[in-house]
Amino acid sequence: MDDKNLMENILLLEKGVCDLYMHGTIESSTDNVHNAFNSALNDSLCMQDELYDKMTAKGWYPTEQAEQNRINTVRQKFGAQC
């Protein structure tokens, strides 16, 4: 397995962990449990951000700029629902 695939796998696992911690935070029944999940979520989001930055720097996570007219269309579509 090369470095790119390894980083992709780690990022996917980290995203899954974030999802679990988010649900734990939302569903927790006590402040102590909520704070523990919330702290773990924040730590995991920081790790996810670092992984993303490293992958982007190596060109392993390409992104494209969204067209302004598409942004405006989505904003109009969902802005009316709020």
- In the chain, domain spans: 3-79
So what's the pLDDT on residue 80? 73
Tell me the C-alpha distance between 70 and 9, whole Å: 31
SS (H, E, C) the chain: CCHHHHHHHHHHHHHHHHHHHHHHHHHCCCHHHHHHHHHHHHHHHHHHHHHHHHHHHCCCCCCCCCCHHHHHHHHHHHHCCC
Q: Give tens-digit pLDDT for 8-43.
A: 999 999 999 999 999 999 999 999 999 999 999 999
pLDDT at 82 over 90: no
- pLDDT of 79 reads 82
The average confidence (pLDDT) of the chain is 94
